[in-house]
Copies of this chain bind each other. A is one copy, B any other.
Amino acid sequence: MFSSNVFVLWGVLSSCWGLRQDARVDEELARSPRPSKWGSLWPLPQRVATFDVSFKLAAASFQMLDGNGSSAGPSCSLLQDAYRRYDKYIFGGVKPERPRARDRRTDFPVLMGLQVLITDPEPECDQYPSVTSDESFQISLDLFLGLETFSQLVYEDDFGAKLVNWTQISDYPRFAHRGLLLDTSRHFLPVKVILANLETMAMNKFNVFHWHIVDDQSFPYMSRTFPDLSQKGAYHPYTHVYTPSDVKTIIEFARLRGIRVIPEFDTPGHTQSWGKGQAGLLTPCFAGSRPSGSFGPVNPILNSTYDFMRRLFREVAAVFPDDYVHLGGDEVDFTCWKSNPDIRTFMEQQGFGKNYSKLESLYIQRLLDIVSSTEKGSIIWQEVFDNGVKLKADALIHVWKGTGQQYRNEMANVTAAGYRALLSTPWYLNRIAYGQDWRGHYKADPQDFQGTAAQKKLVIGGEACLWGEYVDATNLTPRLWPRASAVAERLWSAQNVTDVDDAYDRLSSHRCRMLERGIPAEPLFSSFCPREFEGI
């Protein structure tokens, strides 16, 4: 976003302030959270030095200001929006009027404000976040990320006074792609829910919203080119759809938080709902010599299929500004293709024998060409690579299958073939279990496989996935947070940040902070927060 930024804290130093005690520790009980030496920072920055010197922050006078010579100033709405957001987080939305007669004692050093100095000659104030190579983040402190970290340094003393310790931080992400997948097909998610989760993503330094927008069950994306897709394929034609305006709102809300929005239009499988609004798109399945009335994957042998895809992805390319589109390509069931006599004839003509993977590859190959023509890069699930489809060098392979050893092998194979890889297998957060499963998520590492340094470099990150079969607006947010936060730290912090006990302490505080910001993040274990969630 911004290749290098500087935060300057200014104030008057006159006394010291002790560490706060904010957690009751009872050694006889199962491990309760204890204060971490890193406070409540989450994810942990690359370099932190904290000094036992505190400053007071006065809500009425504290200011976030553009520094002298900053390349982004008052006209940068992105920045001003962020100031407003974090002012609310730091001071709880209440900014009292400065009283006429005020206490002029200066018993404590006061931090007057935060000076934000943007040094990037081209601060993308009105542009979208984009894929950036690892190196350019090495010395940067991203704008939002920096404000989030600053807000995490602020704490309250016993009298409710806002304090911040003298702290030096130098930070950058370990991986450039830190994603979260939400699925709006198995259950429709109201826009409000998506926005709340984008907000929470920013608190956790996630920077990619992978929007699994359509699937078998429903097609809530309202297409201008093919309005029947949602008209007939959504759960409801206007209460359970994302209008063009909804999509814009989501993309802009994400942009203001440094989050890219990558839509997934998964084909040729997972497309039952597409068939309702687009006759002839899906393969008619046969029972013996007659059509059974049911349909299979997208029909790969018709020119009309590719005409449709060309027009649809041209629209998608225009609606979604990100440089990448996720094309899916997973879990294609060949049963229906095998039952269809036209498909079988086509297979013979192509000399594919009984190898239906070749038919799938033919389809995906043509789709990749279509998407390339829209100037977008492609992300595809690992099956496409496994099936040997010829891919462009910039394709991203998304690994999601198998056991620990299987996905490590897959990461090794993908990167050995020279492709960049994203990992999701250990982070299927929809698969819930009793107890602290976040510890397993935390321990998984995308670079933990046999390979050369060059191979490891091809791992650009990963994504936490919350598939939607069992979640909707009722339970999504508490089920996702703070479990996804464990993945967020794994993708952001240094490789050697692996102390699960310390993570437990910081994450417990971080989840209470999310609560205070209105997000119903669930507890890690028996515990309490100073202010509990107010909803139900």
Q: Which chain A residues have a beta carbon within 8 Å of chain B's beta carbons?
A: 24, 26-29, 186-188, 190, 192-193, 196, 216-218, 235-236, 239-240, 272, 294-295, 430-435, 468-475, 477-479, 515, 519-528, 530-536
In the assembly, what is the distance between CA of A421 and CA of B433, in Å?
30
In the assembly, what is the distance between CA of A524 and CA of B468, in Å?
11
In the assembly, what is the distance between CA of A294 and CA of B478, in Å?
35
Cβ-neighbour of A435 out of B26, B28, B470, B479 (below 8 A): B470
Determine if A235 and B294 form an interchain contact, defined as CB atoms under 8 angstroms apart: no
Q: List 22 A-B contacts (CB under 8 A).
A: A24-B235, A187-B527, A190-B532, A190-B533, A192-B534, A196-B536, A235-B528, A239-B530, A432-B433, A432-B434, A433-B433, A433-B434, A469-B526, A470-B522, A470-B523, A473-B532, A473-B533, A474-B522, A475-B479, A475-B520, A478-B478, A519-B536
Residues of chain B within 8 A of A470, CB atoms compared: 434-435, 522-525
Determine if B478 and A272 form an interchain contact, defined as CB atoms under 8 angstroms apart: no
Residues of chain B within 8 A of A477, CB atoms compared: 536
Residues of chain B within 8 A of A515, CB atoms compared: 474
Cβ-neighbour of A272 out of B26, B218, B479, B522 (below 8 A): B26
With most chain B CB atoms within 10 A of its CB, the pick from A186, A474, A522, A532 is A474
Determine if A188 and B533 form an interchain contact, defined as CB atoms under 8 angstroms apart: no
Cβ-neighbour of A295 out of B28, B236, B469 (below 8 A): B28
A199 CB → nearest B CB, Å: 10
In the assembly, what is the distance between CA of A475 and CA of B522, in Å?
6
Cβ-neighbour of A188 out of B272, B473, B528 (below 8 A): B528
Residues of chain B within 8 A of A527, CB atoms compared: 187
Contacts A28-B295, A474-B520 given; 12 further ones with Cβ under 8 A? A27-B294, A187-B528, A190-B533, A239-B531, A432-B433, A434-B470, A435-B470, A468-B526, A469-B526, A474-B523, A475-B522, A519-B536
The interface residues of chain A, by DSSP majority, are classed as loop
Residues of chain B within 8 A of A468, CB atoms compared: 526
Protomer copies: 2
Determine if A521 and B474 form an interchain contact, defined as CB atoms under 8 angstroms apart: yes
A512 CB → nearest B CB, Å: 11
Determine if A236 and B536 form an interchain contact, defined as CB atoms under 8 angstroms apart: no
Cβ-neighbour of A431 out of B196, B218, B434, B474 (below 8 A): B434
Minimum-distance CB pairs A-B, first 5: A475-B478, A474-B520, A235-B528, A186-B526, A475-B522
Residues of chain B within 8 A of A523, CB atoms compared: 187, 470-472, 474-475
Determine if A236 and B190 form an interchain contact, defined as CB atoms under 8 angstroms apart: no
A395 CB → nearest B CB, Å: 30
Instruction: Report if A28-B294 is in contact (Cβ < 8 Å); known contacts: A433-B434, A475-B478.
Output: yes
Residue on B nearest A430 in the bound complex, by CB: B434
With most chain B CB atoms within 10 A of its CB, the pick from A235, A236, A431, A475 is A475
In the assembly, what is the distance between CA of A272 and CA of B187, in Å?
44
Determine if A472 and B532 form an interchain contact, defined as CB atoms under 8 angstroms apart: yes
In the assembly, what is the distance between CA of A430 and CA of B434, in Å?
8
Cβ-neighbour of A535 out of B471, B526, B528, B535 (below 8 A): B535
Determine if A473 and B520 form an interchain contact, defined as CB atoms under 8 angstroms apart: yes
Determine if B474 and A533 form an interchain contact, defined as CB atoms under 8 angstroms apart: yes
A317 CB → nearest B CB, Å: 29
